[in-house]
Structure 1
């Protein structure tokens, strides 16, 4: 295990961390006991205390258990956007020792059917605006019971409400209304959860095949909840801006679980809105904001940003994709803060790596988190590599999942044994510098082979962000009769720059910024990119479009 990074470990933070023997639900119960009258959640102007949240969790748990017959260890679908009901539902499922299966609200009925069948799910808690997708399900995937929630029932009257949070509650055929569920008067059995209980099963995105359920216990999730709390100084008086989707592991841990663990305040957004985000930072004095790099790009591109007081911010952090250096420098210029990047996966319930908040490096995954053994290996031979060498990142730590649900073959290939112990294979190509900081090179599957040279799209994208007219860039490989593959860049220009710069001008500029084999030979302007609901650019979708154009079999 490399220990060079300990020299740069955050001051006054222990280098090891004992994972609490309490459960995720216990975190809420303890914070409600410690801070009953303190605001736990702000939702478009409406405030809810820790005691109120706990009472709602108890009420819903009672109905799940007594009204719907939900049992310990049962997988329950959570299919909704960010909302108070998402948080309440998540903890209510844990309260009855059920397993939360959070699913991306952007999924179609056909995609939803896969999760229901794969997980053997019979009960779902669903956002009202998504209920039509549940109704579309064929009999083979139909849920036996559905609770439908209208977010407007918890929203205040603050301006900035997205349509889903403004929609009034409706009577839906075949569904139990949220109000009926929490007003049933049912009382759940005494809580007896243990660290080994399976708590949540997020699904991987399925970029290399069908999505897979990642089995996590209270213990593996608690490792990252407690780790986040200590690393980010999440005291009871910080105010967390929650803009990441809560179904995603980063939003789940950083914007919901860690604040609740610390008794902090969460200001929750249902949908990303750069103006509203700036407004609530000023209005509620938000101190901690974990996001994804595309949110930061959009936030800083706001021409009205200068109207808002952002001085309350103490930590701006994120992950998902490296933040372009030029954007990080702009963030520092505007807020005085350095961007604190991290790295993690669904299989590790968010972070395995953090940048030290007082010594972060841009476009860097950071250093291994508490008790994480991270190594770089040759993906073909398993041989360990040294500083500066590019190879696959493998990790071992308390947050690593128990395995993929019902995927024995893939569980065997997901791990490699080193020094007699199993390490999880991330599938990401990285390099480690002499100080023990890790840098993402790219996904194993994303490399472009241009005339025998390895081109990593992430590196090219980072260089393109230096161009003053470029707001966002996404690089893919396209077929080339002479080079085998060549580099194409999809580009979104800053507002007002359309028509001022041509594709040829960007190519000529790029020639001076990167090696001859790397610069993009083709530029295509776009006004938007396909993205996940967490904001990640779907590069594979753009890649597939190019393959279809060339007639290549997908």
Structure 2
């Protein structure tokens, strides 16, 4: 397992930003990782975990995170994963509900942990992953009455202990994974050791894990997809390199100018991603090419059209890779074999472009925390888009009629309905939430099923196409339905859009949207309109807003949206939506209720003053 060396930290007080100078990767051998896990598990026996025996992991993705998790599981403790980017009240809810007294965190999150402690004094012991430069640093005053121990001290304490540890069984709960709460408050999904192992066993052949992979882990390990994939690569003794979304590429916000991003240093053969990241990669490539001028852009588009065509001979594609696409591929390390995508729907155009630009397989997975990530995965040899593959090994997948929107298993040419899942990967339910558990976990003929809320169609080849989501479908006042998630997926591919939230007011018959504006595109538009204004001011200029709205509407029509699906008004925000803002989850899913509340005044203004005011 590899971690990049932190050489220097640069703070820019004027803009309240921090950038990092990072070096090469330093490595732990498999033997060293194993010894650390064993010693940590023994060292934990000297720490009182309270009556619950549950230990919270509240940290960013790093090598210590997974070693701590495996150490906890090895000695029979239940790991409670909590996203550090959740709102304070949501973190407190999770920890108090799980009755956690021991929390494992990082030095950079000690301040956040102190805030949590002030609202949940049940924390008795804090184990800290030390910073490479400052070590433990200064412990916040509010934590002075709490036992604060560096991770390495727990490991060292366990090295001199000789004892046998209790062996957990497959049916024991291993992890309580608190969801990011994209629609409602976070819920603790209970995953047993069997749930996790069955998911990994299913995923290894379906996702084509191979020995000697270089896996870059940068998504939150509190996200079930990254967690289970990493366990799979540990199982195969593959090289795992750790990174961060904030330092992923040389253009990432925390990378100091002159430093390379994680992906360029790690040179992975395999990595996971969420669709929004791939949308931004494609957008970045297109913008970089456009800056080279008309002739270069024309040549690039011609080469891309050839590469995309399935009729182009292999030797021609190899020539194009050498002459045109090799330099682009180096932006993601140059060695990528597979990018596994999950978390939300992937636009078909993005899937095709990523495959052509980087010469790698884009493998789409579909799952949920409640199924330990495992439901379906595409076959890398299947070049079709718009589907998420066939059910994984051991997964029983069925459809239920949803009469309200006329989705039925008797539909022609293919059955449609809500996806339900059974099998060894399915969770027993939510921790201390019996009503929520009864609502989505059902029994059919003695089988324990999870109701996903996703609407799918299964074609004659057995692959699953997610066509709607119950929570994303909105009924208009004329009785028709639109899927806001589908509209957002299409609109995110427009270069003016860094992110988008589509909303329909109850009783209305059209939608509006909040758009996180792309700074480069908006500044370029400002120049075209002869407006000498800042990015922030341009976002509030009616002429710019109207121009962007017109472009979005045209873009939507090109991608097959109907006129009723096109937003009739928009609000441009210059501020990015990051997990730290609370507007998106760790996997960059929009937290719909939070965004709606945050932009309530702007939404009301669009409906009261715009083309919707009489409807």
- Bin of the TM-score, shorter chain as denominator length: 0.7 to 0.9
Change (3 A) 1:466 1:83: closer
User: C-alpha distance in 1, partners of 2:591/2:149?
Assistant: 35
Q: Is the 8 A contact 1:82 1:246 kept in 2?
A: yes
1:288 aligns with 2:249: no
**262-271 vs 357-366, greater mean Cα deviation:** 357-366
Q: Which residue of 2 aligns with 1:436?
A: 462
Relative to structure 1, is the Cα distance of residues 396 and 484 closer, same or farther in structure 2, using a 3 angstrom cutoff? same
Specify the alignment match of 1:403 in structure 2.
429
Q: How does 1:145-544 map to 2 (within 5 A)?
A: 145-152=125-132, 167-172=134-139, 173=144, 174=146, 175-184=148-157, 185-190=160-165, 192-254=167-229, 256-276=230-250, 280-302=262-284, 306=328, 308=331, 310-379=333-402, 384-386=409-411, 388=414, 390-450=416-476, 451-465=478-492, 467=494, 469-479=495-505, 483-488=508-513, 490=515, 492-493=517-518, 495-500=520-525, 501-511=547-557, 513-527=560-574, 528-529=576-577, 530-544=583-597
Q: Identify the residue that residue 155 of structure 1 maps to in structure 2.
A: none
- Supply the distance in 2 between the matched residues of 1:465 and 1:535 (Cα, whole angstroms): 13
CA distance in 2, matches of 1:380, 1:97: 45
Q: Which moved more, 1:436-445 or 1:376-385?
A: 376-385
2:377–2:389 CA contact under 8 A, matched in 1:
yes
What SS does structure 1 have at the residue aligned with 2:511?
strand
Structure 2 CA distance for aligned equivalents of residues 308 and 207 of structure 1 = 31
Instruction: Tell me the equivalent position of 2:105.
Output: 126
Distance 2:509 2:164 in 1: 63
Q: Identify which range, 368-377 or 538-547, moves more after superposition.
A: 538-547
Give, in whole Å, the separation in 2 of the partners of 1:179 and 1:269.
21
Residues 146-174 of structure 1: CA deviation (Å, up to 9, x unaligned): 1122242xxxxxxxxxxxxx554325333
In the TM superposition, residue 507 of structure 1 has moved relative to its aligned partner by 2.5
Partner of 2:91 in structure 1?
A: 112
User: How far did residue 461 of structure 1 move?
Assistant: 2.7
2:63 matches 1:84: yes
| Structure 2: runs of 5 or more not aligned | 6-24, 253-259, 289-326, 526-546, 578-582, 608-615
Q: Highest CA radius of gyration, 1 or 2?
A: 2
Deviation at 1:297, TM superposition (A): 2.2
Go from structure 1 to structure 2 and tell me whether the alpha carbon gap of 1:253 and 1:504 turns closer, same or farther (over 3 Å shift): same
State how many pairs are aligned. 496
Q: TM-score, normalised by structure 1?
A: 0.81
Q: Please list the CA deviations of residues 467-513 of structure 1 after superposition, one character each: whole Å capped at 9, or x if unmatched.
A: 4x3444424223277x4453436253473454535323332453454
| RMSD after superposition | 2.9
Q: Note if contact 2:414-2:460 (Cα within 8 Å) is conserved in structure 1.
A: yes
Equivalent position of 1:13 in the other structure: none
- For the 8 Å contact 1:367–1:436, the answer to whether it is kept is yes
Are 1:487 and 1:518, in contact at CA under 8 Å, matched by a contact in 2? no
- Structure 2-normalised TM-score? 0.74
Distance 2:395 2:227 in 1: 20
Partner secondary structure for residue 201 of structure 1: strand
CA distance in 1, matches of 2:485, 2:189: 26
In the TM superposition, what is the alpha-carbon distance from 1:419 to its structure 2 partner? 4.2
Residues 366 and 470 (structure 1), Cα distance of their counterparts in 2 relative to 1, 3 Å cut = farther
SS at match of 1:143: coil
Partner of 2:14: none
Q: List gaps (5 residues or longer) in structure 1.
A: 1-39, 153-165
- What displacement does 1:127 show? 1.3
